[in-house]
Amino acid sequence: MSLRAYPKFQSVGRGRLCPYWPALGMALLLAVATGVEGKSLSGIHQEFLKTKLEAVKGSPENQHRLGVLYERGLGVAKDEVAAAQWFQRAAELDYAPAQYALARCYRAGRGVANDPEQAVKWFRKAADHGLADAQNSLGFSYQMGLGIPADPSQAIVWFQKAADAGNAAAQNNLGYCYKHGHGVGADLVAAVTWYRKAAIGGNHSAQNSLGECLQAGLGGAKSPSEAVTWYKLAADAGLADAQDNLGFCYFLGQGVERDYAEAVRWFTLASDQKFPRAWANLAICHANGYGVPKDVVESYAWWNLASTEMERAARARDDLERLMSPAQVAAAQKRARKLKNRLGGH
């Protein structure tokens, strides 16, 4: 049994849409945005008091800022209800960042009841002010039919506005739409162009998707070595899909020197994030002794876990079981239960 025998598990992924700006460096971004970077706890609390004083006076900027402080528990106990209330006050004063923040609260049901239609209402207000994050989120709402009837062509309109403003999440979303023909004609060259812009902008999903295009030669010439570069950036940031893809490159020796042990390391990192394709890849490695000692018991356990998400994994598990002794099967089932308890297979 080999990886090549189960190409579905290593097939080029579909990527993913990004509803919001990625959370990379969120703590630092919040500190800068709220003016508390580098301050002591007492200093942060003083900043909270100062902000609240101005918010009470009616400053929409400080009302929004106060909402962020409540939302994140900076200088005050975390209180999502209070955060939403302050966002609401600033949003009603037509302050675009607060409108966007309030929309996210309604979308997530954070501090207010989940209400997709209210989310769309406030995303649109902020988007009409030119806030790129809101434009992207409104596009995502149209794409997914969240709080509004699905309209892929309108999704493209809003993704394009945000992407042209340099929003990396929207650039990734445009890349996804061009790759899969959602709301626009499929165009792999355009997809790669937008994925590259988003990848350079730090969007990890785009870095992974660009790597997949480069590895497969979609929208341009194959470049496995450049694919590895982009996979590595996204994998180091913790994106499970990229970790699995990078492991696959090490397994095959594509764009990098073949190294089964390194492949297993990346598959393991992805598997710890409950990524089913990595579970299947670990099953294959354990079955064949690639980067780890050959162990049919361990292989069975990983196949069993992957079978919760992949029909072919169930067949592979059953095929393997026919070659095992009753004692091995019993041990494998025990190990499978432990993996399921730890990683939460269905």
Which structural domains are found in the chain, ordered by start?
25-129 (1.25.40.10)
- Which pLDDT does position 3 carry in this prediction? 43
Two tokens at 290?
Answer: 């690639």
> According to the model, what pLDDT value does residue 40 have?
77
What pLDDT, in 10s, does the model give residues 165-192? 999 999 999 999 999 999 999 999 999 9
Mean pLDDT of the chain: 91
Query: Per-residue confidence at 2, pLDDT binned at 50, 70, 90?
Result: very low
Mean pLDDT of 285-314: 96
Check residue 43 and give its pLDDT: 82
pTM (predicted TM-score) = 0.88
Percent above pLDDT 70 for the chain: 89
